[in-house]
Amino acid sequence: MHELGIVFHIIKEVKKVAQENNCSKVSKVVMNIGEVSTVVPYYLEDCWNWAVAKEEGLQDCKLEIRMLDAVTWCDGCKSEYPTVAHGKTCPHCGSGNTWLLRGNEIEIQEIEAI
């Protein structure tokens, strides 16, 4: 379960931002998680709830997860398509000359703090 390691990294970054902005309490963290990022949202949230209970200034901090669809770009026909439904082969032209445009992100979108 690599979600616990991700949570520790998020907490480190959130605490750094809170300190830089002289905030004493963080109430919410919003994460963008890509559909093909290999992160399991349920595990991430479970690890988050366990970890923030032990962190000063983060107790009761909510984690909001926004899932981002995976989208692939086809160099053959210059179009986008949903990655999960079609994989590496373009459904428009059949080309395998494709690459992931978005959907593997794991990023902090927003931090609410006082």
Digit-coded pLDDT (tens) for 49-101: 999 999 999 999 999 999 999 999 999 999 999 999 999 999 999 999 999 99
Give the number of domains in the chain. Answer: 1
- Domain of residue 46: give its range: 3-68+103-113
What is the C-alpha to C-alpha distance for residues 107 and 85, in angstroms, rounded to an integer?
Answer: 24
At 7-38, the pLDDT tens digits run 999 999 999 999 999 999 999 999 999 999 99
Do the bridges between strand 26-34 and strand 62-68 make them parallel or antiparallel, or are there none, so unpaired? Answer: parallel
In a domain, 97, yes or no: no
Sorting pLDDT into bands at 50, 70 and 90, what band is 1?
low
In a domain, 93, yes or no: no
71 touches 36 (CB < 8 A): no
In a domain, 87, yes or no: no
Longest dimension (CA), the chain: 54
- Which pLDDT score, from 0 to 100, does residue 18 have? 96
In a domain, 54, yes or no: yes
Q: Give the pTM.
A: 0.88
Q: What is the CATH number of the domain that holds 62?
A: 3.30.2320.50
